[in-house]
Structure 1
Amino acid sequence: MPGSVVITRPRAQAESLARAVAALGRTPVLLPLLEIAPLADQSPLAAALADLERYALVAFVSPNAIDAAFAHLEGWPRQVALAVLGEGSRAALARHGVDSGKATILAPLDPARSDSETLLASLDLAALAGKRVLIVRGESGRELMAEGFSTAGAEVTVVPAYRRSVPALSPQLAAQLRALLDSPNDWIITSSEALRGLFALLRQLGDALVEQMQQQHVIVPHARIAETAQALGLARVTLTGSGDERLLAALQSQS
């Protein structure tokens, strides 16, 4: 019998995937490895979004960025293009009533590489020269996207929308990790930061648990996460490409 399916997304984004996993006849286990919190000062985000029409493009780095932004919005101006990194962000836009019929949504052409590099390579950057671009992201993050737009001649504004952090190692979390590593499971990892955080937690519990994790099967949507997994010594990594349907198809192939 296959083991459980460990879903490591932030809790607010994990429940729909957990229902889909259960519909496959598998047992989902929620193990949020990133905690998402609103920033105490929302005024920079609200100010940046107050006059969207001045931007030629707004880039969202994650579904969390979209959810945080739309808490300040009642709609989206059709003439302002959006850029996202993966299918999860497309789904987040759809939840807020924005799809390709209502706005221009740009994304990486390669679903296995839903990252800033591939997004930049997929865009007509020359067309953004002299125009304004807004990037909505977490409080910290990679600078590559902003640098790419700036190099192309765009006037770039970067605004933080939320804070993310790895949970502290509580006795309850330690017990859950030990229990999960007692048997083989399928782990869905959708963030390199979360994966690095998981190994940091396990190192606090001892090398034996790190070695047990390295033998688990992980399913990842992006090549960058697969590279992180391999660098951390994980022996069984399945790369699916962006989108929950691809994650679920990989699970079915393991059954």
Structure 2
Amino acid sequence: MNSTVISTAIPTVIITRPQHQAQHLVDLLEQVGRQSVVFPMFEIEEMLENPELDQAICDLEDYALVMFVSPNAVDAMLNRIAEKDWQWPSSVAIAVVGAASRQALLKHGIDEAAVRIISPTNTERTDSETLLEELDLTALRGQKVLIVRADSGRDFFADALLGAQINVQAITAYRRITPIFDESKKQELQTYLNAACAWVVTSSAVLRTLLAWCSQLDQAGAVAKMQQQNLYVPHFRIAEVARELGFKHISLSASGDEKLLLALQSSL
């Protein structure tokens, strides 16, 4: 179990991302004196054997655009490119949804000085629909677009491009894995639940897992108690799912850790 002492004065921030993706937000919170705990609700597993993605990398200059569905998709493809000691071709534009994916690109040395990066200009609503509005679908007609994605998710973006007579190839580059809910995690979750923490949730799947895990706790009313926790989410679609699942206190921020930090600080 995590040995962190949970604050009762200022709500401890529970970050439900994988450990390696949580550190930036942990650092930001530490800078403003906020206590945080990383409680991963999913893990990312890159597909080591992925001949389809390897072939797409070899043929990268054939694509007019590569769309990454998440920072994990960025890492999955660009890690493989780095292994081959290749550079991203400047002629191939990149499309991403949110600020976290832009940060992931920057981590790999890709910025708009070298490559055209397209993302929603409306930072209050970052999703496939708003990303689609930024694209010149007429110019892309008949060209090839690559979508790098997880093993699950919506098909809206691919379907919209296909409807615009654009050649789309979607490749699965990583899997989301839910951790085993063992006794240690049960004790940890129960501690956080009873302390009324602030929960950062960046995936709608986490919400369902939280309720499923709470239903397995040896505590009456654990699910209802979870639904009363304060949630902080960076995407309106996650907020919609939270409301559908019965969560009562939902704070929606714009995309990016800095925006999440502002939302957390403004709630004090």
The match for 2:248 is: 235
Which residue in the other structure is 1:65 paired with? 73
Mapped pair 1:183 → 2:195? yes
Deviation at 1:40, TM superposition (A): 4.3
What RMSD in Å do the two structures reach over aligned CA positions?
1.3
Equivalent residue for 2:37?
29
Question: Structure 1 unaligned runs (5+)?
Answer: none
Partner of 2:144: 132
- For each residue in 1:29-79, what CA deviation from the matched residue of structure 2 results, as whole angstroms up to 9, or x when unmatched? 101111111224222111111121100000000000000101111321111
Give the residue type in structure 1 aligned to 2:43.
E
Q: Displaced runs of 4+ in structure 1, greater than 2 A?
A: 203-207
Q: How many residues were matched structurally?
A: 255
Change (3 A) 1:184 1:106: same
Counterpart residue type for residue 36 of structure 1: I
Which of 124, 131, 136 aligns to 1:119? It is 131
Q: Counterpart of 2:266?
A: 253
Q: Amino acid of the residue matched to residue 28 of structure 2?
A: A
Name stretches of at least 5 consecutive residues in structure 2 with no aligned partner. Answer: 1-8
From 134, 141, 149, the equivalent of 2:153 is 141
CA–CA distance in structure 2, aligned partners of residues 246 and 216 of structure 1 = 20
Residue 119 of structure 1 aligns to a residue whose secondary structure is helix
Letter aligned with residue 60 of structure 1: F
Normalising by structure 2, we get a TM-score of 0.92
Query: What amino acid sits opposite 1:12 in the alignment?
Result: H
Identity %: 45
Which residue pairs with 2:3 in the alignment? none
Query: How does the TM-score come out when normalised to structure 1?
Result: 0.96
- Distance, in Å, in 2 between the alignment partners of 1:102 and 1:40 is 28
- Equivalent residue in structure 2 for 1:79, among 87, 91, 94: 91
Q: In structure 1, what is the Cα distance between the partners aligned to 2:264 and 2:207?
A: 19
* Matched residue, 1:222: 235
What's 1:92 paired with? 104
Contact 1:215–1:234, Cα closer than 8 Å, also in 2:
yes
What is residue 3 of structure 1 aligned with on the other side? 11
Of residues 213, 219, 226 in structure 2, which corresponds to 1:201? 213
Q: Check the 8 A contact 1:111/1:222 in 2, yes or no.
A: no
8 Å contact from structure 1 (residues 138, 163) kept in 2: yes
> Which of the residues 150, 166, 173 maps onto 2:162?
150
CA distance in structure 2 between the aligned counterparts of 1:192 and 1:114, rounded to whole angstroms: 14
Distance 1:6 1:101 in 2: 36
In structure 1, the partner of 2:57 is 49
Which shows bigger deviation, 165-174 or 222-231? 165-174
Alpha-carbon distance in structure 1 between the residues aligned to 2:233 and 2:243: 11
Q: Partners of 2:87 and 2:220 in 1: how far apart?
A: 50
- Whichever residue aligns with residue 8 of structure 1, its letter is T
